[in-house]
Amino acid sequence: MYLINIFDENIEPSHLSQLELHGSIPEVLQRVSSDSEPSTSARSDGILMNLLGGVLQAKDDKARREMKILISRLLREDSVDDDNRFDVSKDTLYHLCHRCFSVLVLCLSEAIGTDGSKRDRGVLMAEIAREADNLQWIVDILIEKRMANDFVKLWADQRELAELHSKIPTMYRHEISRITAQVCIAIGRGNILVPKESRFLLLSTWLDPLYEDFGWMRRAYKSVDKKLVEDGLSRTILTLSLRQQQIILLNWFDRYLNKGDDCPNIQRAFEVWWRRAFIRQYTDVEDGSQLQITVCSYPN
């Protein structure tokens, strides 16, 4: 008597002839052979869309956190093998980003009473924090998969969201500013490469909100690395033109004098800009800040 593991992907058709089968061998092969299924790439995106969407809408916060960790790990493991990848598409991830934007705008509008909603304020604030956390997760996946370049412009264009953000108490909204910090860290590390105009637009839209929320971010989350955020901001700012650096850093100088540690300390960027702008040895060199020069692992 032969014992055959039907879950073995290397099972041979000849082995099946040794079994007493009530159905035909082709029918059994269809059940155990991956070749008879639609291609992995064709099936994976729909499955992952459902899984990711399910996590984003989960009711239980503990389960939601656990499944985020699980799915992120599985996606990271699968992406190692380029020839047999069960992966999520860029379109799916950006579709989920837009879904998060819509929910955030709706919740913020309700919270400030612009749509006449009567929902409990505490429930709304919890939903804002949860949706911002969801968006951070999707952005993490985009960055991990080198798909986040388009997100910079997309996030910079969320002016309605930024305007609503300014009208909500800081204790409820600071999760949203963590997304800006997350993007700046990735730009500073070279994990996101975007044109200078997109970087400046990002900071023009979201830097002031980040300044306002930084104290809450730092105190509320031990996972927020103050130095890492400051370094990411500094590196991002220093990739801009001297004129753009001046606009941003003079504004920061005034804010830091008034807010102290509740404002990011980007003194390093201020020093570099000052030397570039006013010390002679720098003025004779073409302004390299027009380019974002960094070492990264992008394929050729």
Which residues make Cβ contacts (< 8 Å) with residue 80, sequence separation at least 6? none
**Which tens digit of pLDDT belongs to each residue from 255-287?**
999 988 899 999 999 999 999 998 855 544 444
List Cα–Cα distances, 95 to 98, 151, 185, 284, in angstroms: 5, 11, 23, 47
- Span 47-103, pLDDT tens digits: 888 889 999 988 888 999 999 999 999 888 766 555 545 578 899 999 999 999 999
User: What pLDDT does residue 79 have?
Assistant: 61
CA gap 160, 15 in Å, rounded:
64
| Span 204-216, pLDDT tens digits | 999 999 999 999 9
- Taking the whole predicted model, whether its pTM rises above 0.85 is answered as no
Which residues have C-beta within 8 Å of that of residue 254, sequence separation ≥ 6? Answer: none
